[in-house]
Amino acid sequence: MPNDLAAVVLAGGLGTRMKSALPKHLHPLLGRRMVDWVIRAAHDAGVGRVVVVASPDTAALFDGVEVAVQLTPLGTGDAVRSARAALDGVQGDVVVLNGDVPALTPELVHALVEAHRAAGAAGTVLSFELGLLWPGFMKFAGPIVGVPFSLEGFAFFTEAIFLGVYLYGWDRLSRRAHLLAGIVVAVSGAASAVFVLMVNAWMNTPTGVTMAGGTIVAVDPVAGMLSPAAFPQALHMVLAAYASTGLAVAGVHAWMLRRGATRGFHRRALIVALWVGAPAALLQPLSGDISARLVAKTQPVKLAALEGQFATERGAPLRIGGWPDARAATTRYALEIPHGLSLLAYHEWNAEVKGLAAFPRSDWPPLAPVHVSFQIMVALGMAMALVALWAAWVGWRKREIAEQPRLLRALAVVAPFGFIATEMGWLVTEIGRQPWVVQGLLRTSDAVTPMPGLIVPLTVFTLLYLVLGAVVVALIAAMVRDTADEPAGDAGEPLAAGA
Ligand code: HEM
């Protein structure tokens, strides 16, 4: 029996999640107990000795494998310690596996051991596997996107922990500690957005990798995180988040004020929300311009698709609206502003803009969705910026925003615009990069899983999120309705945006 690799399968816990007297790992699945699938995966991966950690009650249920008894269920560390005596004499590595992961494959166990040995590490943790849907992408890009993804995980957990402190700490913390918890939530939330955007930016403008024979042979994770698109994309998306939520909240309060709610609460909340949303909405077109100029430089075929530009041209026009017709190689029904695109993309009246015709047809993204999404995003962004400017003007003149019925109506109308523009923006970025998943290095067709039947989880998750979305909207609507029924309180107190 080879002594250089052993496995400990943890099956000593109570495993109560199935809400039955039988521990979870002993539940049958496709003709075997869950834990038996794990034992089999370990054997098939070439593990010489498999030690199952069982409780005193279940030890007798394991035939043909070594069993170590964990006398009291004191957690994972204690369970592994229980197997120590049984592992005496093992010279090499020990893989610790949970007994309730029946989908574990021998290939994954083997790959984990290989990666551990190649790295010469003292210990290796298999934390989560993104390779299920995108095995080709993770195999190719894992070494470089792993660092920002892990940092995103840290930021996310910090946010989750402090959100708990914030929500449950209203009456338990000092005002200062409570405020501090809120600040940590905001900062770590933004940080997790920035880290995940670094990954997306790397997919658009990959840097920090040395390639040989179609695979990455050397990696500089810091250079990968600071790819050319990192700053413009992070800025654009963080502004999008503040503009969308700020103006959506302002829109709800504006709507309530228009319906006759007179409470000071709505007036104050409107101003607070505008302080968040309006500056972001005003800055968004500028940040969009920075993004577009970078796209012109680094992803010219994406720019040509989003602008509906077929011919390579000096003094190219800016197209407003229109429908790209690939067969006729033209964008129909668009309003053209002469020289507009050259001016915006390169800040030069007669700059040359590369058209789609300059690239092989196989490298074109789907044209209509990219062009139309881009037009909608920009139109909504301009509308949001104009309404934000109007509110800023009224506030600057020390007028009461809550007393401007037309402005209140405009704020209510633009309330959903930010969320729609954000969705459109992601369609532009992701469809616009096709057929590449990592621009110029890895095609989407080589990255996606060959697994069949994915329509089932896609449909289930889509329905789940639709239901969750509907519940959130219903809850928020109920909360908003409640505020209308409360007594007038400090209504009528004047409040201007600048106050
Ligand atoms: C007002 C003028 C706007 C312009 C000129 C503009 C420009 C752009 C460009 C060129 C991209 C593609 C970047 C790439 O693929 O590398 C993009 C993406 C995006 N846009 Fe806009 N945009 C504008 C407004 C907005 C607004 C109002 C929102 C949402 C509130 C928004 C949300 C997004 C998002 C979420 C992305 C994808 C992620 C990212 O690149 O950060 N955009 N935008």
Kindly indicate the confidence band of residue 490, based on its pLDDT and cuts at 50, 70 and 90.
very low
Q: 147 vs 198, which has greater pLDDT?
A: 198
> Do 462 and 344 have their domain in common?
yes
Ligand 1 centroid from CA 195, angstroms: 18
> Do 281 and 413 have their domain in common?
yes
188 Cβ inside 6 Å of ligand 1? no
Q: Which atom of ligand 1 is nearest to the CA of 243?
A: 30
Which of these, 94, 108, 104, 100, lies nearest to 8 by C-alpha position? 94
> Which of 92, 126, 160 lies at the terminal end of a domain, its last residue?
126
Ligand 1 centroid from CA 422, angstroms: 7
**Is 160 inside any structural domain?**
no
> Do 309 and 435 have their domain in common?
yes
Ligand 1 centroid from CA 186, angstroms: 22
Q: Which atom of ligand 1 is nearest to the CA of 232?
A: 41
Q: Answer whether 371's CB lies under 8 Å from 302's CB.
A: no
* Residue nearest to ligand 1 atom 12, measured at CA: 429
Residue 346: the pLDDT is 95
Mean pLDDT of 304-318: 97
CB atoms within 10 A of CB 291: 20
Q: Report whether pLDDT(71) > 80.
A: yes
**Is 152 inside any structural domain?**
no
Lowest pLDDT segment from 59-63, 206-210, 304-308? 59-63
**Is 492 inside any structural domain?**
no
Lowest pLDDT segment from 59-63, 85-89, 124-128? 124-128
Q: What is the pLDDT of residues 395-407, one digit of tens each?
A: 999 899 999 999 9
Q: What is the pLDDT of residues 322-337, one digit of tens each?
A: 999 999 999 999 999 9
* Residue nearest to ligand 1 atom 40, measured at CA: 233
Q: Mutate which of 231, 236, 343 to test ligand 1's pocket (most atoms within 8 Å of Cβ)?
A: 236
Mean pLDDT of 423-450: 94
Query: Residue 470 sits in which domain range?
Result: 228-485
229 Cβ inside 6 Å of ligand 1? yes
Sign of CA dihedral 391, 396, 402, 403: negative
Q: 61 vs 89, which has greater pLDDT?
A: 61
Q: Which atom of ligand 1 is nearest to the CA of 432?
A: 15
Which contacts qualify for 134-140: CB closer than 8 Å, 24 or more apart? Answer: 134/437, 134/447, 134/448, 134/449, 135/447, 135/449, 136/442, 136/446, 136/447, 136/448, 136/449, 137/437, 137/438, 137/442, 137/447, 137/448, 140/215, 140/216, 140/438, 140/441, 140/442, 140/447
382 Cβ inside 6 Å of ligand 1? yes
Kindly indicate the confidence band of residue 154, based on its pLDDT and cuts at 50, 70 and 90.
very high
Residue 491: the pLDDT is 44
* Residue nearest to ligand 1 atom 5, measured at CA: 288
Residue 494: the pLDDT is 40
| Six token digits for residue 126 | 């298999």
| Six token digits for residue 37 | 């699938």
Average pLDDT, the chain: 90
Mean pLDDT of 70-77: 87
* Residue nearest to ligand 1 atom 18, measured at CA: 425
CB atoms within 10 A of CB 131: 15
> Which of 126, 154, 183 lies at the terminal end of a domain, its last residue?
126
Ligand 1 centroid from CA 462, angstroms: 24
* Residue nearest to ligand 1 atom 14, measured at CA: 429
Q: What is the pLDDT of residues 358-397, one digit of tens each?
A: 999 999 999 999 999 999 999 999 999 999 999 999 999 9
| Six token digits for residue 224 | 């990968």
Residue 481: the pLDDT is 84
Q: Report whether pLDDT(205) > 70.
A: yes
201 Cβ inside 6 Å of ligand 1? no
300 Cβ inside 6 Å of ligand 1? no
Q: Which atom of ligand 1 is nearest to the CA of 303?
A: 10
User: Per residue in 305-344, is it b (16+ CB within 10 Å) or e — as a string?
Assistant: bbbbbbebbebbbbbeebebeeeeeebeebebeebbbbbb
**Is 309 inside any structural domain?**
yes
Ligand 1 centroid from CA 377, angstroms: 7
Ligand 1 centroid from CA 236, angstroms: 6
Residue 487: the pLDDT is 53
Q: What is the pLDDT of residues 34-48, one digit of tens each?
A: 999 999 999 999 898
280 Cβ inside 6 Å of ligand 1? no
Phi, psi of 216 (to 5 degrees): -80, 125
Kindly indicate the confidence band of residue 131, based on its pLDDT and cuts at 50, 70 and 90.
low
Q: Report whether pLDDT(153) > 60.
A: yes
> Do 245 and 112 have their domain in common?
no
Distance CA 236, CA 429 (A): 12
Q: Report whether pLDDT(129) > 60.
A: no
Q: What is the pLDDT of residues 213-236, one digit of tens each?
A: 877 888 898 999 999 999 999 999
**Is 337 inside any structural domain?**
yes
> Do 94 and 236 have their domain in common?
no
Alpha carbon distances (Å) from 404 to 275, 276, 393, 409, 494: 17, 20, 12, 9, 13
**Is 217 inside any structural domain?**
no
Total residue length of the chain: 499
CB atoms within 10 A of CB 469: 10
Kindly indicate the confidence band of residue 184, based on its pLDDT and cuts at 50, 70 and 90.
very high
Distance CA 178, CA 301 (A): 49
434 Cβ inside 6 Å of ligand 1? no
| Six token digits for residue 333 | 């029904």
Q: 411 vs 5, which has greater pLDDT?
A: 411
* Interstrand relation of 215-219 and 209-212 (parallel, antiparallel or unpaired): antiparallel
Q: Mutate which of 245, 294, 353, 377 to test ligand 1's pocket (most atoms within 8 Å of Cβ)?
A: 377
> Do 239 and 109 have their domain in common?
no
Tokens 């229980």: give the residue.
82
| Six token digits for residue 95 | 């893989």
Mean pLDDT of 194-209: 96
50 burial class (0-12, 13-18, 19+ CB within 10 angstroms)? buried
375 Cβ inside 6 Å of ligand 1? no
> Do 290 and 437 have their domain in common?
yes
Residue 181: the pLDDT is 96
| Six token digits for residue 169 | 């700490």
Q: Mutate which of 428, 431, 439 to test ligand 1's pocket (most atoms within 8 Å of Cβ)?
A: 428
Kindly indicate the confidence band of residue 493, based on its pLDDT and cuts at 50, 70 and 90.
very low
**Is 315 inside any structural domain?**
yes
| Six token digits for residue 360 | 């092989």
The proportion of the chain whose per-residue pLDDT surpasses 90, expressed as a percent, equals: 67
Kindly indicate the confidence band of residue 498, based on its pLDDT and cuts at 50, 70 and 90.
very low
Q: State the total domains in the chain.
A: 2
Q: Answer whether 203's CB lies under 8 Å from 433's CB.
A: yes
**Is 170 inside any structural domain?**
no
> Which of 126, 155, 189 lies at the terminal end of a domain, its last residue?
126
Q: Report whether pLDDT(486) > 60.
A: no
Q: What is the pLDDT of residues 258-274, one digit of tens each?
A: 988 767 889 999 999 99
Q: Answer whether 353's CB lies under 8 Å from 315's CB.
A: no
* Residue nearest to ligand 1 atom 39, measured at CA: 233
Ligand 1 centroid from CA 296, angstroms: 14
* Interstrand relation of 436-438 and 442-443 (parallel, antiparallel or unpaired): antiparallel
Lowest pLDDT segment from 102-116, 332-346, 423-437, 474-488? 474-488
Rounded to the nearest angstrom, the gap between the alpha carbon of residue 62 and the centroid of all alpha carbons in its chain is: 43
Instruction: Report the CATH number at residue 35.
Output: 3.90.550.10
> Do 121 and 233 have their domain in common?
no
* Residue nearest to ligand 1 atom 33, measured at CA: 425
Ligand 1 centroid from CA 297, angstroms: 16
Residue 190: the pLDDT is 97
Residue 1: the pLDDT is 43
* Residue nearest to ligand 1 atom 4, measured at CA: 288
194 Cβ inside 6 Å of ligand 1? no
